[in-house]
Amino acid sequence: MLGRDVTKRKHMTQELKIAKENAEMADQLKTAFLTNMSHELRTPLNAIVGFSQLLSQPSTKQDEREEFIKIIIESSNYLLNIINDIIDLSKMETGQLNLNINPVNIKEMLLDSFNYYKNHYTKANLNFEIEFPDTPYQIIIDTDKVRLQQVLNSLVANAFKFTKSGTIKINVGFDQNHEFLHIKIKDTGIGIDPKYHKTIFERFRQVEEGYTREYGGAGLGLAISKKLTEMLGGKINLESIPGSGSEFTIKLPYIRTPKRAENDKAPADISFIKNKSVLAVEDDAGSYLLLKSILRNTGCRLIHAKNGKEALELIKKQSNIDLVLMDVQMPVMDGLEATQKIKALHKNIPIIAQTAHAFSNDRQKCIDAGCDDFITKPVRFEELFLAISKTIKPDNLN
């Protein structure tokens, strides 16, 4: 009697079954993500487009206009946060996210966040508290302040999102040997089932998925927070029981430094550009109007060029341009080529690149082309003013 060993075939069949199940799960996650992302992007866009149209109607009252503008700003910021999350995730996956490590006063940073959320988000039936250890009086560690604040804000925002009543508390402490700093965000919200404790830190994953979700979100915040914390040399722990709230702990190395932490600086003073000539090279009418509005009260003389070629020709005719704000992506001649040619003519003219391309290699491309500084769109007042103050000095102007 003949026989065959079918062990190998059974093993292959099992592997194929697992691969098929994984592929089906990936397809389901992809569909759920696209559906969720479409909803998360279209919802703020609906408010932005809709209320913008209402603002143009003469029948809209002044108090309504103020309310509509507030909604447009809030929706725009929400949309921008989603885009920033996607960009951050892409940077992390491609190794392009760079950290800026400096001494940071943890107490000041946490108090800033605490006061912001306390003033903007607390409800009558919700207590928001913060607690620091008695010693040391100041807690200063070497870390990236912006990225750590991003992690903290994400966790606090989640606590407010999932807690309707009770208490949200930030607690700061150390491990037994003072080797690690612990920042805990504890709430009395809905809690998380233990089976989802790993899932919520995965990209595009949430406890709620599908059309019946009660809470919004793109499912990126916790995944980014976990990765950022690991890049800072720490980790995030979660303790939670459904119905009893959640406690997230940011655990960071307590690296003490003799250097002082830099305090937040006051808005940059650019009063020195009054009556000076600023060339804005921008093909998008809306972006130019924004620059014009931002610089309106500075007293500078703003000149507009719609592409790099126009800017180059204008500078050849006018040698008294004191500053160039250069868009990067434009028709006819892009900002990088225009910068190279302008610098060949006038190497000392300050040029600040402004672009919607936000990866680290984009910044380097601008610097390599000859730009003196780089800011990303959407352009914000404080970032533009800081770039101007860093790039040119009053005594460098005619």
pLDDT at position 380: 78
Q: Both 181 and 151 in a single domain? A: yes
Q: What would the DSSP string read from start to end of 264-330?
A: PPPPP--GGGTT-EEEEE-S-HHHHHHHHHHTGGGT-EEEEESSHHHHHHHHHH-----EEEEESS-
CB 268 within 8 A of CB 388: yes
Question: Is 221's pLDDT higher than 90?
Answer: no
| DSSP structure class, residue 347 | T
pLDDT at position 290: 85
H or E element, residue 153: helix 145-162
**Parent domain of 294:** 271-396
Question: Is 101's pLDDT higher than 90?
Answer: no
Does 154 map to a domain? Answer: yes
Asked which of 5-14, 81-90, 131-140 is least confident by mean pLDDT, the reply is 5-14
Q: Both 14 and 89 in a single domain? A: yes
Residue length of the chain: 398
Which of 223, 253, 283 is where one domain is finished? Answer: 253
pLDDT at position 216: 45
Q: Both 108 and 240 in a single domain? A: yes
**For position 365, which CATH number holds?**
3.40.50.2300
pLDDT at position 207: 47
Does 258 map to a domain? Answer: no
For the chain, what is the domain count?
A: 3
Q: What would the DSSP string read from start to end of 27-53?
A: HHHHHHHHHHHHHHHHHHHHHHHHHHH
Those residues whose C-beta lies under 8 Å from the C-beta of residue 199, and which sit 6 or more positions away, are 205, 207
What is the rounded distance in angstroms from the CA atom of residue 347 to the CA atom of residue 363? 19
Per-residue pLDDT, averaged over 318-345, amounts to 92
Q: Both 178 and 196 in a single domain? A: yes
What is the rounded distance in angstroms from the CA atom of residue 94 to the CA atom of residue 6? 44
Q: Both 221 and 335 in a single domain? A: no
Average pLDDT score, the chain: 82
Q: Both 284 and 392 in a single domain? A: yes
Question: Is 393's pLDDT higher than 70?
Answer: no
Write the burial class of residue 265 (CB in 10 Å: 0-12 exposed, 13-18 middle, 19+ buried): exposed
Q: Both 48 and 114 in a single domain? A: no
Question: Is 16's pLDDT higher than 80?
Answer: no
Per-residue pLDDT, averaged over 179-196, amounts to 90
Which of 53, 69, 93 is where one domain is finished? Answer: 93
Q: Both 63 and 167 in a single domain? A: no
pLDDT band at residue 214 under the 50/70/90 scheme? very low
Taking alpha carbons only, the member of 381, 382, 388, 310 closest to residue 351 is 388
Per-residue pLDDT, averaged over 135-151, amounts to 86
What SS3 class is residue 187? strand
CB 302 within 8 A of CB 295: yes
Per-residue pLDDT, averaged over 313-328, amounts to 91
pLDDT at position 360: 59
Question: Is 258's pLDDT higher than 60?
Answer: no
Does 262 map to a domain? Answer: no
pLDDT band at residue 264 under the 50/70/90 scheme? very low
What is the rounded distance in angstroms from the CA atom of residue 63 to the CA atom of residue 289? 25
Q: What would the DSSP string read from start to end of 232-262?
A: TT-EEEEEE-TTS-EEEEEEEE--B-SSPPP
pLDDT band at residue 86 under the 50/70/90 scheme? confident
Per-residue pLDDT, averaged over 380-389, amounts to 85
Does 77 map to a domain? Answer: yes
Does 259 map to a domain? Answer: no
Q: Both 115 and 165 in a single domain? A: yes
Whether this model's pTM surpasses 0.85 = no
pLDDT band at residue 203 under the 50/70/90 scheme? low
Which of 40, 66, 93 is where one domain is finished? Answer: 93
What is the rounded distance in angstroms from the CA atom of residue 324 to the CA atom of residue 312? 11
What is the rounded distance in angstroms from the CA atom of residue 335 to the CA atom of residue 318? 19
Q: Both 383 and 246 in a single domain? A: no
> Between these two residues, 324 and 263, which has the higher pLDDT value?
324
pLDDT at position 118: 86
**For position 222, which CATH number holds?**
3.30.565.10
Q: Both 238 and 312 in a single domain? A: no
Q: Which segment, 74-78, 169-173, 273-277, 295-299, is predicted with the most confidence on average?
A: 169-173
CB 187 within 8 A of CB 162: yes
Q: Both 328 and 348 in a single domain? A: yes
pLDDT at position 390: 85
Q: Residue 194, preceding bond cis, omega within 30 degrees?
A: no
Write the burial class of residue 37 (CB in 10 Å: 0-12 exposed, 13-18 middle, 19+ buried): middle
Does 20 map to a domain? Answer: yes
**For position 50, which CATH number holds?**
1.10.287.130
What SS3 class is residue 227? helix
Residues of the chain with pLDDT > 70, as a percent, come to: 83
| DSSP structure class, residue 127 | E
Asked which of 45-49, 99-103, 264-268, 365-369 is least confident by mean pLDDT, the reply is 264-268
Those residues whose C-beta lies under 8 Å from the C-beta of residue 302, and which sit 6 or more positions away, are 278, 280, 291, 292, 295
> Between these two residues, 351 and 197, which has the higher pLDDT value?
351
Whole-Å CA distances, 373 to 154, 239, 365, 367, 387: 29, 44, 11, 7, 7
Per-residue pLDDT, averaged over 114-120, amounts to 85
> Between these two residues, 288 and 257, which has the higher pLDDT value?
288
Does 2 map to a domain? Answer: no
Residue type, position 65, single letter: R
CB 220 within 8 A of CB 204: yes
pLDDT band at residue 4 under the 50/70/90 scheme? low
What is the rounded distance in angstroms from the CA atom of residue 53 to the CA atom of residue 39? 21
Asked which of 3-12, 256-265, 317-326 is least confident by mean pLDDT, the reply is 256-265
Does 266 map to a domain? Answer: no
pLDDT at position 306: 94
